[in-house]
Amino acid sequence: MNLKAALIALIFCSLGRALSAEDFAQAWQEPANLTLPAPARSLVLASHIDAPQWLSQNLLDDARLLPQGRTTLVQFNMPEAQWQQQQAELCGQPGISECNVDACQSIQLNSSISNVSNAERVQARIVANPPTLDSIPAHNSEQSTCSVAAALPELDSPTDGAGINLNLDLQALAENTQDRSTQASRDPYAPDAQPAVRAADFALKLVPDFGGQALLQSTEIPADTTGYLVNVGDGCSSTQVPLSSLAPPSVPNLVVAVVTGDVTSVAARHQLIALSQTTLTSTGDVLTVFLNPDPQRSVTQLLTILAQDNDIVSAQREMIYLTAATQSSYSDPWAGLTYGPAHTGALALHTETTGEGETIAVIDTGMAVDHPDLAGRVEYQDLTGKGWSADAHGTAVASIIAAAADNALGSYGVAPAANILALKACQPETPTGLRARCWTSSLVKALDVAMQKNAKIINMSLAGPPDDLLARYIALAVDQSRLIIAGAGNGGALAKPAFPAALPGVLAVTAVNNRNRLYEQANVGEYIDVAAPGVDIVTLAADGSFPISSGTSWAAAHVSGVAALLHPLMPLSSPAEIAFLLRGHSTDLGNTGKDASFGHGLIDVCAAAAAATANAFTCLSEEESSDGF
């Protein structure tokens, strides 16, 4: 069977998606369902105990280890019935101290509440991100770290003992209309310094004939939901999810439109301010961003009006996307040092290819283009209008993909000789931080440039809500046989599907650590294709340091580097066919077959190369391939 036939067989036999992009987008229109985790437990191991071995012996492999001087704090979740059975055995072992029944902690998860043990204690609130104790409306300050008095009405518990289900409904919420009168005098893309939503904006309403469930609604929510967390708790058992992973974030009072007529006339006709207009080379569309200065007219009302204008092809909100990486909580420079290339089999190919002559378009923040690990191999362009800058997130992504090897500096990339087309479409929230915002208009312009420059591999280490205009240009790039690789999102296990990862033709990548454990903040969903290293990754910073951080951003970058290695070995195959090959030659993780956590599994680039080229590649073990490099 030749390569083309093999790839077609893979497409039709094993690689189809169970759900469509419309299904994933529809999920954003449905109430979110939150399940409280099992209560948290903790104990302390003495210094002479081998913590990883102890966890394995006691079947607690998913526990979290937190070094505390000479001792180690172990944290894990366990249902009450199981805890009652195992508490004495776990806590009675020599060298175990401070064995706690309830360990109050913040768990970065997800979104209706089930498994509620005490309905009177259930509460929900939106708080500024990150949450602090000051934002929790505690009736007793001594209880504020663990249990807060009831904030919601008492519920009638179901008689079947199944618990109470609460649905978090984020659809028919009042639009935040504050500060419209001053919007024209400030940068409309700047995050609000003072969040408009405060604690306890949620109210619980019993709904008749709702099958024993209750509907959780909010009285107000901002258009820009990126700065908030939704917290839901039942005493010490609590969960939280980024609000932007449940309710689509957008820039207040901005509209992105494709205009066929005169932009000035359209603006005058609808009392709008045209902030920018760009002719897109790939389609000839005139992409225009309008500001709505009328404090009495909501964006929803404006979009209804614009839909009837014959000079406007499409109009929508200016959606917000976020880069998908977080700084690690510790900074040991040797932790997990550059395990990614060996872990995926990419290092075994470096004797054959290092990506020379390949170009990867990185749609991201700016990056340090003059750093010795990247210098001479980066072409760059700003699409935000805010100017080029040497930013943290883009620099890290580029270093994972293509940092130079064997130059006595820091680490090396997956494809250390590849070139980078750096397209700045995202602006950092802080000068040196990893968190950055991207917008519909800047992402569309960046995709247009990537197509104009004929980039075959496009990395998008960012995540956000469904977006019709972005989807249109993603589809255009895919139709041109370009491979788009995107992070699966860092919203947690019950976050809504992340886009553009959930779009057809996009290779959606989740993150695992060097033991193939799923990144604890990773999204879960049927749209996820493959897994790659993304936890405790050594990256490059503009100041020459090598910080360690985690996220599906880094996993996507690993796969982009892998694609740049494979393409020279398969010159007659398109990058899109490489994606099918990677899905079909991944190491299965989690449940047998494709699953919602790991997709098809951990990418194995050496196995993919060997299968595609009939070359006698020697795919060494990870330990063997790491020796001597």
Q: What is the 3-state secondary structure (H, E, C) of 435-483?
A: CEEEEHHHHHHHHHHHHHCCCCEEEECEEECCCHHHHHHHHHHHHCCCE
- pLDDT value, residue 451: 97
Tell me if residue 182 falls in helix, strand or coil.
Answer: coil
Pairing of strands 436-439, 426-428: antiparallel
Flag whether pLDDT at 347 surpasses 90. Answer: no
Residue 331 has pLDDT above 50, yes or no: no
Structure token pair of residue 395: 């620099």
Q: What is the pLDDT of residues 111-125, one digit of tens each?
A: 334 444 444 444 555
Residue 411 confidence (pLDDT): 76
Whole-angstrom Cα distance, residue 576 to residue 477? 11
d(C-alpha 547, C-alpha 535), whole Å: 12
Strand partners, 22: none
Rg value, the chain, Cα:
25
Q: Which of 343, 393, 558, 585 is catalytic?
A: 393
pLDDT score, position 126: 54
Catalytic residue among 298, 441, 553, 586: 553
pLDDT of residue 326: 67
Question: Coil, strand or helix: which one is 22?
Answer: helix
Active-site choice (364, 382, 391, 536): 364
For residue 102, pLDDT beyond 90: no
DSSP assignment string, 159-172? TTS----EEE--SS
Place of tokens 């006339």: 265
The pLDDT tens digits of the residues spanning 32-61 come to 776 666 777 888 888 888 888 888 888 887
Q: Which of 276, 287, 225 is nearest to 250 (CA)?
A: 225
For 464-485, write each residue's pLDDT tens digit.
999 999 999 999 999 999 999 9
Q: How confident is the model at residue 536 (pLDDT cuts 50, 70, 90)?
A: confident
Q: Is the pLDDT of residue 155 over 90?
A: no
CB 25 within 8 A of CB 162: no
* Cβ proximity of 314 and 573 under 8 Å: no
* Residues of the chain above pLDDT 70, percent: 72
- Can you spell out the DSSP letters for 508-554? EEEEE-TT-PBPTT----TT--EEEE-SSEE---TTS---EEESHHH
Q: Could you tell me the two tokens for 424?
A: 């700045």
pTM of this structure: 0.80
Q: Give 221-268 pLDDT, tens digit per residue.
A: 778 888 777 766 654 456 777 888 888 899 999 999 999 989 999 999
> In this model, does residue 546 exceed pLDDT 70?
yes
Q: What pLDDT is recorded for position 167?
A: 57
pLDDT in tens, 419-441: 999 999 999 988 888 999 999 99
- pLDDT by residue (tens digit) across 552-574? 999 999 999 999 999 888 877 78
- At residue 267, what is the residue type? A
Of 95 and 510, which is predicted with more confidence? 510
- Convert the pLDDT of each residue in 391-421 to its tens digit: 999 999 999 999 988 776 777 899 999 999 9
- Output DSSP code: residue 408: S
Q: Residue 385 and residue 183: Cα distance in Å, rounded?
A: 18
Active site residue 364: yes
**Phi/psi class of residue 527: alpha, beta or left (left: φ > 0; alpha: ψ in -120 to 50)?**
alpha
> Is residue 577 a contact partner of residue 7, using CB atoms and an 8 Å limit?
yes
Question: Which residues, 6 or more positions from 610, have their beta carbon under 8 angstroms from its beta carbon?
Answer: 616, 617, 619
- CB contact at 8 A, 405 and 394: no
State residue 206's pLDDT score.
40
| DSSP 3-state of 423 | strand
Pairing of strands 426-428, 32-33: unpaired
pLDDT band at 607; cut points 50, 70, 90: confident
**Residue matched to tokens 């081998």:** 50
> Residues in the chain, how many?
629
**pLDDT value, residue 159:** 33
| pLDDT (tens digit per residue) in 175-225 | 444 444 444 557 888 876 544 444 334 444 444 444 445 555 655 677 888
Return the biggest CA–CA distance within the chain. 80
Q: How far is residue 529's CA from residue 562's CA, in Å, rounded to a whole number?
A: 15
Mean pLDDT of the chain: 77
